[in-house]
Structure 1
Amino acid sequence: MCRWLAYSGSPVPLDELLFKPANSIVVQSKHSRLGAETTNGDGFGVGWYGVLPTPGIFRSTEPAWNDSNLWELASHASAGRVFAHIRASTGSAVQQTNCHPFRHERWLWMHNGLIRDFPAIKRDLAMAVRPDLFPLIQGSTDSEVFFMLALTFGLEQDPLAAVAAAVGHIEGVGRSHGIDYPLQMTVATTNGDSTWAFRYSSEGRSRTLFHSTDVTTLRAHYPGNVMLEQLSDDARLVVSEPLGDLLGAWQEVPEATSVVVHDGEVEFHPFRPTDAAAATS
């Protein structure tokens, strides 16, 4: 599978997120503690929002621990909303266009998990993608098709409903092909203002997902902690696995839950797939 992080708050140097934590995403690329695979070396990607209307992305097929360009970028760039992803392929090629995050206009998208037996149902899923979006598919991974389905079902208008409809469609197609548990996912998406994250799987045993505890609460418990003093009050992280071992700093996102992060506030909603046809009628 994969590992990812989504940060929002005051601008921070990217290396503070990617390299410096004890269990940083770069450390996880070699030694993941909670992932389905220990090593996530099939490429990486970083997306961030700067001065332009659309986010920047940097993706590479190199392992995250072995790319000097990533260190160079992370040492000099700062941003207030950052997506980072390390990849362990579930079958699709190791190529730059298959590395996350994926981008469409202002939107970024990351996925940890898989659409089971994707080659067998790829055509049926792709045929549901909106005609104007279909030519934009660049890679061969299930995660990009998943993103295009979410956009097709209205991601830009209502992310919670759109992802529920996309998941409902994927499960419907999968089960019509005899696949009992079509989807395993944690997903993060953002438009640069809010972040939406999802933990769900068809079998009810999803990959791990955590969110950070309120920074002001942590400061009260750990006065003088330099890292906490550097973060703004509205700083929030949603991660595949904790970036460190600070007691109380991380809370597990429950099974079948969506998370909304906006202006430092974190909301939780039950996540249930919906009938995609009904969502577009």
Structure 2
Amino acid sequence: MCRWAAYRGEPLYLEELVSSPAHSLIEQSHCATRAKTATNGDGFGIAWYGERPEPGRYRDILPAWSDCNLKSLARQIRSPLFLAHVRAATNGGTRRDNCHPFVHGTWSFMHNGQISGFEAIRRPMEALLSDELFHARTGTTDSELLFLLALQFGMDADPFGAMEKAIATVEELSHQKQGEALVRFTAAFSDGKQLYAVRYATDHKPPTLYAAPMGGRTGYCLVSEPLNDDVDTWVEIPDGSAVKVCAEGMQASIFQPQSLPQAA
């Protein structure tokens, strides 16, 4: 399982999530405490928003703890909205194109979880993409393909609705091809204005997600694991939740992909 952190609020330096805290994302890359595997050393990535609509991005296959460039960039880059990820690979080899966050246009996306039996449904998922989105895919992960599928289903107009439809489609294809579906999905994504996150699993065992206020009156940080031991600060986001961080603060709603027919 991977670990990630995301932020929207008053501009702050990336190091305040990535490298400075006692249990920073870099610390989690080799000593995660709330994941099946303590080590997340199969690459890392950051995506941040600045003066341009499209996010900047830096990714590499090195473990986050061994990349001096990451620490240097995190100390210098100041942003009101950014995503950061350390990877423990489940699908796709250790290569830069498979490192999160993934970007397309103004959108950025990162994921912790898995689609069980992904290879059995990969081609049907790809067939649902437009030519533009199909050719935009550069890696081999289930995460990137799920992101592109949500874009296909109208993420620009309805981010949570598009993601619900994408996951419902994955579940339906899994039932058709394998007679069962298992999707574990804790993800963050952004259009450069709002920050969105989802925690969901078909077996009600999704990867962890926590939130805490940070960076001004309406700013929030969303993380796989708390960045410190202040237990009164961090709130666990429940299974089946959609979270939006915007100018008004953090808003939560139910995330519920449409009901699907079960295999006979």
TM range (shorter): over 0.9
Q: What is the letter of the counterpart of residue 41 of structure 1?
A: G
Residue 252 of structure 1 aligns with an amino acid whose one-letter code is E
Partner SS for 2:204: coil
Distance 2:88 2:55 in 1: 24
Q: What aligned pairs does 1:1-281 form with structure 2 within 5 A after superposition? A: 1-212=1-212, 214=213, 231-274=215-258
Per the TM alignment, residue 160 of structure 1 is displaced from its structure 2 partner at its CA by: 1.1
Equivalent pair of 2:219/2:249 in contact (CA under 8 Å): no
The answer to whether the Cα contact below 8 Å between 2:199 and 2:239 also exists between their aligned partners in 1 is yes
Partners in 1 of 2:72 and 2:23 — Cα distance? 20
CA contact (8 A) 1:46 1:57 kept: yes
1:149 counterpart SS class: helix
Residues in 1 aligned to 2:243 and 2:171: alpha-carbon distance in whole angstroms: 21
Alignment RMSD: 1.3
Gapped regions of structure 1 (runs ≥ 5): 216-230, 277-281
Letter paired with 2:82: V
Contact 2:208-2:225 at 8 Å conserved across structures: yes
**Structure 2: which amino acid aligns with 1:105?**
G
Q: Note closer, same or farther for the CA distance 1:179–1:56 as it changes in structure 2 (3 Å cut).
A: farther
- CA drift at 1:264: 4.7
Give me the identity figure in percent.
Answer: 38
Alignment TM-score, normalising by the size of structure 1? 0.90
Task: Tell me how far 1:169 sits from its aligned partner.
Answer: 0.2
Find the aligned partners of 1:248 and 1:21 in 2 and give their Cα distance.
16
Could you list the runs of 4 or more consecutive aligned residues of structure 1 that deviate by over 6 angstroms after TM superposition? none
The AA in structure 1 aligned to 2:118 is F
1:205-242 superposed Cα distances (whole Å, 9 cap, x missing partner): 11111111x45xxxxxxxxxxxxxxx322220111111
Q: CA offsets, 1:60-108, max 9 Å, x none?
A: 0000000011011112111111100000000310000000000011110
Please tell me whether the aligned partners of residues 169 and 275 of structure 1 are also in contact (alpha carbons under 8 angstroms).
no
Aligned residue identity for 1:81: L
Which amino acid is the alignment partner of residue 200 of structure 1? Y
Question: How many residues in Structure 1 have an aligned counterpart in Structure 2?
Answer: 260
Q: Is the Cα contact below 8 Å between 2:97 and 2:138 reproduced in 1?
A: yes
Q: Quick one: structure 1 residues 198 and 179, their matched pair in 2 at CA, closer, same or farther if it must change by over 3 Å?
A: farther
Q: Give the structure 2 partner of residue 225 of structure 1.
A: none
Report the residue type matching 1:259 in the other structure: V
